[in-house]
Amino acid sequence: MKRNKIVGYGELLLRLTPSNHSQLIDQATSLNLSFGGSESNIISNLSNLGHNTKMITSFPNNSLGKSANRFLRSFGVNTDDIIFRNGRIGTYFIEHGASLRSSKIIYDRLDSCFSKEKVDDKVWNNVFNNCSYFVLSGITPSLSKECQDNVLRSVKIAKSNKVKIVFDLNFRRNLWNEKEAFDFVSKIINDVDILIGNTGSISDIFGYKYKSSNNFLELENTTKDACEFISKDFSFDLIALTIRNQINATYNQLGGLIKVDGKYFNGKSFEIDIIDRIGGGDAFSSGIIHSLIKGYNSQEIINFSNSCFALTQTIKADINYFDEEDILEFGSDDYSGHIKR
């Protein structure tokens, strides 16, 4: 039987942003409400690209939880195994950067219902039936002991069902420190099939030392060095790392590379005006998974994923709303921003 399901486990948070895109939170008198979260962004993106997906998470049994559930379902994500319980939804506030002022995220997620939920083994055994990929990130185990236990159990059961593990390092220093991250990630890293991240996350978790640069070619070479560094101790089917040359908060050069079977593949980079910084890496991750399922060759994989990465940064919100045709067209040589008639 062909496996065709992609499962994600992680927290979907309430996203609040000043209604005026350029305002500070201190200035805002109204906030736009949406939802986002690394694993759920990847799963929603893959649903948009036509894949069979399911999300395992937990929501409060109130209007916010029901709205979050509808948000996932609006993309076609299967939410049948989502757990509703008493508690609160995790929240994050985004203050968009401009010019030399950085974007800023404030988390309010302590003791969320997701962080307190223990997922039963029966759920994992059920969801990994006919599953091809399981999506995790380093954010989830940073939230609580319960989340760490869920990740460890889910990885063990997924591997016993021959499911490929996709792990985005996603280090967040305001959620845990470098040693805590290393100690936990070391428990699952040998079970990871596809590792996703960037030079910074490999540095933070595994101690890779590098010099920052504003030159994209130098960043690309440093990213290859980071790949070599992590490959010395661990083996993966594929390593995919994003590259971001941040000229300022609203103008970036974006790209990435993959390592497959000891060979490196660099994709096209894009210089773009950033509309919304959040969700670009998740779009890159979903591009990798989509390309693997579609049977793209290695060069096509990184070209498509880089296009997802860049294109998502040109719209508001965490989700990549573009379909495969849009992404492939953007990745062609003709992406000058002319009007399509």
What is the pLDDT tens value at each position of the chain, 341 positions in all?
467 899 999 999 999 999 887 888 889 899 999 999 999 999 999 999 999 999 999 999 999 999 999 999 999 999 999 999 999 999 999 988 888 888 888 999 999 999 999 999 999 999 999 999 999 999 999 999 999 999 999 999 999 999 999 999 999 998 999 999 999 999 999 999 999 999 999 999 999 999 889 999 999 999 999 999 999 999 999 999 999 999 998 899 999 999 999 999 999 999 999 999 899 999 999 999 999 999 999 999 999 999 999 999 999 989 999 999 999 999 886 656 665 65
Q: Is residue 295 part of a domain?
A: yes
- Tell me which residue of 158, 144, 242, 167 sits closest to 199, measured CA to CA: 242
Q: How many domains does the chain have?
A: 1
- How far CA 114 is from CA of 14, 82, 88, 118, 317, in Å, comes to 12, 10, 8, 9, 22
Enumerate the β-bridge partners of residue 85.
60
pLDDT value of residue 3: 72
Residue 337 is assigned to a structural domain of this protein = no
Task: Return the amino acid letter for 325.
Answer: E
Q: Minimal CA–CA distance to 228: which of 253, 251, 199, 200?
A: 199
Give the pLDDT confidence score for residue 1 in this predicted structure: 45
Q: 154 lies in a domain?
A: yes
Domain membership of residue 341 (yes or no) is no
Question: Which bin fits 295, alpha (ψ -120 to 50), beta or left (φ > 0)?
Answer: left
Supply the pLDDT for residue 334. Answer: 60
Residue 241 sits in a domain whose CATH number is 3.40.1190.20
3-state secondary structure of 67: helix
| pLDDT, tens only, 88-99 | 999 999 988 888
What pTM was estimated for this model as a whole? 0.95
From 183, 129, 189, select the one nearest 155 (Cα to Cα). Answer: 189
Instruction: Give the residue numbers spanning the domain of 213.
Output: 5-330
CA distance 203 to 206: 6
Q: Is residue 309 part of a domain?
A: yes
300 belongs to a structural domain: yes
